Amino acid sequence: MKFTERREWLYDPQVFGKKDVQTALRIHAEATRKHSGNPPPVFMEVDRRSCKYDQLWHVPLDDRTQFSRTIPVPAINSFERPDWRLTKVGIVPQRKDKFTLSNLILQQLDYFPMRGDMVSWNGYRYMIINVVLEPNGYWQQTNVWLGLVCECVIPPDGDARPLVDISTPPLAEIAQVNPTPRV
């Protein structure tokens, strides 16, 4: 989603133009860039126009998820101990990661993360389940937020195995179609 399409996250442009607000936004953006992983996490925006998309659960209904664009965004990753759950296959960890993104960087990239978008980092594929503003993420007493937090989990269909290259589909997802001969 484009950054300016979320009207409820925008704020008064006069406050945004103040010098102290600009300084705070630049400091937060620089701290996010400096402490981000190298290479940065790649955020994959799900193409909601061309694929069938469930409005309630925010998951694609097609066989293969289509992305409108992939964007490397500097983000700070933090996570807690995994929550171990007993399932049909045994005890499996459910790891919840949080990616902290900067307001200024998101404006420059013209991207706003949404629930259902994917994140690729350290070989794992995450799905964003929530986009929230931390209570201490606002600049002083203004309505200007410095950064937001994307809460992510590893989706059950992707397991927890790292993928070497996320851009190429695994063998199970490649369609077995006979290519037509070129003349």
Q: Which residues contact 92 (CB under 8 A, 6 or more apart)?
A: 84, 85
| pLDDT on residue 4 | 64
Integer angstrom CA distances of residue 85 from 89, 93, 146: 10, 6, 35
**Residue 83 — pLDDT band, cuts 50, 70, 90?**
confident
pLDDT digits (tens, 9 = 90+) for 13-34: 777 778 888 888 898 899 999 9
pLDDT digits (tens, 9 = 90+) for 109-159: 989 998 888 899 888 888 898 898 888 887 777 778 888 999 998 876 544
**Any idea where the domains of the chain sit in the sequence?**
3-173
- Judged against a pLDDT cut of 80, whether residue 1 lies above it is answered with no
Using CA atoms, how far apart are residues 171 and 168, in angstroms rounded to an integer?
9
Please give the residue that has the higher pLDDT: either 139 or 74. Answer: 74
| pLDDT on residue 43 | 93
